[in-house]
Every structure is written in structure tokens, then in C-alpha cells.
Structure 1
Amino acid sequence: MLKSTARMGRQLQNLSVNDDTEFDHIVAVSPKMRHVLEQARKLAMLDAPLLIVGDTGTGKDILARACHLRSPRGKQPFLALNCAALPDDVVESELFGHAPGAYPNALEGKKGFFEQANGGSVLLDEIGEMSPRMQTKLLRFLNDGTFRRVGEEHGGACGRAGDLRHAEKPDRTGAAR
């Protein structure tokens, strides 16, 4: 009984923290876009990753932020990274972090985006532009939620992240490489 009461309290709290105002600032003229916004508004309430697809400059980041704020994780951090703009080693370090000594000037360790999000959301823009090696590493993370910082030994601790809001630029077939 006590567990279900506590669970109901958390669910009520989640309902009260969801911020819908960002959706109100998004202008959608066509019926199709209004439908997309309504669907996104509903999907944002789910505790699940979202895939937002669209051309460059169409506001995927704005929609992702609106979904984050409406989600149960809305009070946690929202971090964004454009994966196309950075080389693999930088993307890997930004997403997964690195251990002390992983790089010549890395005297201290660094938390990656997935750890920094701390139960919040991470927007990964242009994931289709990442190398196949980085896409594989990201897919492993998406499948099991675990990762290792760059430079950690095999026996090192794994981290977990809670949620992803990611957007990509699909290739000609409509899928990431």
C-alpha cells in the first residue's frame, strides 16, 4: 500500500512539473504540422527516447526542447550536441566523457553529456553525419544504457543515462548510416 501511494505521489508530481509553454510558442500553420505538434505533445509525456527527423533548419532542436520540458524529466538538464560539426574523438569525449590521462593534456577526468544530463535529456543533432564507428558506439549505448569513458580500463565502472531526445539527418534511404 505504501509503495503504491508513493508511486502515485511521484506520478502526480510529474504531472504538475510538465511545462507546456514551449509548445505554445511553436507556430504551425499547416494541418499536418499542427498534427505533428499534437502528437509530439502527447509523446513527450512518455518516458521514452524520441526520434525527431527533419531537414536542417526546420526547428528540430526547438521541438526537442519543448518535448523535454513537457516530459517527466523536464526539470532536469537539457543538453544538445551537433554531431556533424565535430571529429570522432571530440564527439566521443563530449558524449561519454574521459578518464584522467585519456589524452595528453587530460589531467582530470570529464563527465560526458550522458552523465551531465543526470536524468535529463540529450539532443544529438545530425547523428547521420557521425562515422559508422561512433554510430555503433552510440547504438550500443541506446540498446543497453551503459557506456565507458574514453581511456577507462575494461574493469572500470559503467555509467547509465536516463533519456535521449535525438535528431538526425537521414541519408537518402531515410535512415542513419
Structure 2
Amino acid sequence: MLDLILEETKEKMEKSIEAFKHELSSVRTGRANPTMLDRVKVNYWGEMTPLNQTAGISVVEGRQLVIKPYDRNSLKDIEHAIYEANLGLTPQNDGEIIRINVPALTEETRKEYVKQAKKYAEEAKVALRNIRRSANDDVEKAELTEDEVKLGKEKVQKLTDQYVKIIDQLTKEKENDLMTV
């Protein structure tokens, strides 16, 4: 029973880490990266569709994104969606493709992005703590001896500590990435 609870807890924490990695990938660094546009939704034939499902996105020369729509008629909609996403990026439409030059980050914007990354980290840690609380409740409700309950809670805490370290490590890597000029 305890093993099942621990396995479920581990799965939930893994999903939490994956969600955190996804959030972190949306924080901009000085380099162009297709994941910068993950939050962009395009009005494609009346449906709000993720940009990466309506166009190919590639990086050119490290500082430029090139967006080639699968349907040329959606070029204006894609350009509009990028403006609407409020990413601080300016798309340039040449009738065939859209180019986005990613400007170098200033010291001030780097610090803002580090704050944003730390905010995401804190949210991820809160999610882990909620998972821990839920797992501890499950351990208490399970028909276990007092010693097994104590052992179960210790194992849940070890799991939590392990995943908090992963979040801290990912945040530190992102911060280094952001602050490296």
C-alpha cells in the first residue's frame, strides 16, 4: 500500500517538474528559441490554435526566428497573434514568411526575467508541497502501523526534498543562462 502511494506521489511530482520546465522555457533569454512562442495562439479558421501547429518555426543566426506558415492565408493572423501575445517582439511580414529579430537583453530586463523564473520556481514548490500534503493524508488514511506511517511520511519528505532540489537546480541554470551576456 505504501509503495503505491509513493509511486503515485512520484508520478505527480514528475508531472509538476515537467510543467515547471515548460514554464521556464517560456522565459526569454538573449537567444532566439522557438519555445518563446509557445503561448501564442492563432485564430486559425475560427479556432484558437497554438502557433507551432499552424507554422514551422526555425532559428536563424541565433537571434532571429523565422515563421513559415503551412497556409499562406494565415500570415496576417499569425502576425496579429504575435503582437497580441505581448512578448515584446516585433514580427516582420514579407508576404511569404514572418521574421522576428530577438533583441539582446539589457541588464534590467535580465533581472526581470530572473524574477519571473524565481516566481515560477516558487509556484512549482507550492505544487510539490500540496502533493506532499495529499500523500501524507493518504499515508495516514491507509491501514498501516504507527511505524509504517512514520516511515511513509519520511519517504514522502525525501521525495519532496529531491524534487525541490531539481527545481532549485533548474532555476539556477536558467538564472545563469539569463545573466550570461
- Shorter-chain-normalised TM-score: which range? under 0.3
TM-score of the superposition, structure 1-length normalised?
A: 0.22
Structure whose CA Rg is larger: 2
TM-score (norm. length: structure 2)? 0.22
Q: Which has the higher helix share?
A: 2
